[in-house]
Amino acid sequence: MPGFELFGDAEKKEVQDVLNSGVLMRYGFDGMRQGHWKAKELEAEIESQFEVQHAQLLSSGTAAVSLALASAGIGAGDEVIMPCFTFVASFEAIIMLGATPVVVDIDDTLTLDIEAVKAAITPKTKAIMPVHMCGSMANLEALKSICNTHNLILIEDACQAIGGTYKGQALGTIGDLGCFSFDFVKTVTCGEGGVMITNNNDYYTNADHYSDHGHDHHGSDRGAETHPFIGYNFRISELNAAVGLAQFRRLDDFIAIQKKHYTIIRNELEKLAGVTFRSVPEGGEESYAFLNFFLEDLETARKVSSAFKSNGIDVCFHYYDNNWHYIRKWEHLINQKSLVPLSKELIDGLSYLKHKTFEKSDHFIGRNISCLIKLSWTESEVIQRAKKMASIIQSSTS
């Protein structure tokens, strides 16, 4: 996955353009910038590659998720349904707007469980936010139909699945709004960055203004612009956008490498009894950023995970015991350990988390091992790695 593995001359050339002009900001300074508009150029490339009307480049993926919610008018008192297996950013991005995350189970897709989503809908529900974790997607057709029935907004957190598709469409373009992260460890990196995409003109206009202090971006004098509503600063710098521009142009190559490496490892593990794979919704194609598989039980997964570590098989995660991606270890979120006072509405809205259990998700995450697929491995390294993984699993399960 990490695009930084293949950081090279193309990235340096784009950054050098920005350094030569000295215009590090994405807006204004038209005369000084010698024709370089890296953020705008990257937005245009994203729009054309993903066949989507609008892209708003931002300072992070977390900002992209908050901005998607804000652009659709979601805030205090509103409920957003999200999965219990994701990066904590999904939760943070919702509470930042004062909205309440309603965390629900996942299934063997490792993304939102459709029945759990249906059961969580209340009169306060405004949006459903599937997170396409570890390179593969939620059942978007089922979610779309729920959204149509209940008049809800569908927001795809596709931060970990750039390049994946569903029924021929790019992930992120199927819901009302989609988000990608370009942080340092994602498939495409800007160093730090993210993007929100949408086909909705109003959401886009809102996003354009909200991410830059409410500026309306009319005319060429920033100081004279009006502010139709309150905004914040989620801008990306031209330096970061320049890195992302070079990286994004290589996305197809990155996905092809991921697919090749993923397939070698998967073919080896498929021979083993006791190993099954995550299910991918019909019509979906993974981004191959990770290979996810299930073992028979929690104990076996723990055994294999620790044997991988002690035998030099790195970048494989057992998220059940990991602090970042699964609700079991989100003690600070569950107990509302906030630096600043939270609104009464949010405190009440989150109180269910202190009692809610996630047995169905425990069953899947407890048995899951998620292996990052690196871009910089050589073919012979991947083959060796696959054989070693298979032999470790075999000796841990026999």
Ligand X SMILES: *Cc1c(COP(=O)(O)O)cnc(C)c1O
Q: Which residues bind ligand X (CB under 6 A)?
A: 60-62, 86-87, 89-90, 131, 157, 159-160, 181, 183, 194
Nearer to ligand X, 184 or 352 (CB): 184
Nearer to ligand X, 157 or 238 (CB): 157
Nearer to ligand X, 2 or 231 (CB): 2
CB of 287: closest distance to ligand X in angstroms?
A: 12
Number of residues assigned to the chain: 398
Nearer to ligand X, 86 or 396 (CB): 86
Alpha helix segments (H runs only) across 199-339: 201-210, 238-248, 251-269, 298-310, 331-334
113-118-120 Cα angle (round to 5)? 95
Dist. CA 102–CA 80, nearest whole Å: 6
- Interhelix angle 238-248/38-50, rounded to 10 degrees, is 30
Nearer to ligand X, 160 or 198 (CB): 160
Q: Three-state DSSP class for 46?
A: helix
Taking the CB of residue 377, how many other CB atoms lie within 10 A of it? Answer: 18
CB of 146: closest distance to ligand X in angstroms?
A: 21
Nearer to ligand X, 60 or 305 (CB): 60
* Element holding 198 (H helix, E strand): strand 194-198
| Rounded alpha-carbon distances, angstroms, from residue 185 to 24, 71, 170, 362 | 23, 27, 21, 26
CB of 158: closest distance to ligand X in angstroms?
A: 8
Nearer to ligand X, 39 or 275 (CB): 39
Nearer to ligand X, 61 or 163 (CB): 61
Dist. CA 316–CA 305, nearest whole Å: 7
Dist. CA 112–CA 6, nearest whole Å: 32
CB of 2: closest distance to ligand X in angstroms?
A: 11
Dist. CA 335–CA 320, nearest whole Å: 19
Residue whose C-beta lies closest to ligand X: 61
Q: Which amino acid is at 331?
A: E
Q: Three-state DSSP class for 125?
A: strand
CB of 244: closest distance to ligand X in angstroms?
A: 11
CB of 123: closest distance to ligand X in angstroms?
A: 27
Dist. CA 86–CA 358, nearest whole Å: 14
CB of 159: closest distance to ligand X in angstroms?
A: 3
Place of tokens 């729009």: 47
CB 389 within 8 A of CB 265: yes
CB of 390: closest distance to ligand X in angstroms?
A: 28
CB of 143: closest distance to ligand X in angstroms?
A: 16
Nearer to ligand X, 89 or 127 (CB): 89
Q: What is the torsion angle, in degrees rounded to the nearest 10, for the CA atoms of residue 116, residue 122, residue 128 and residue 132?
A: -20
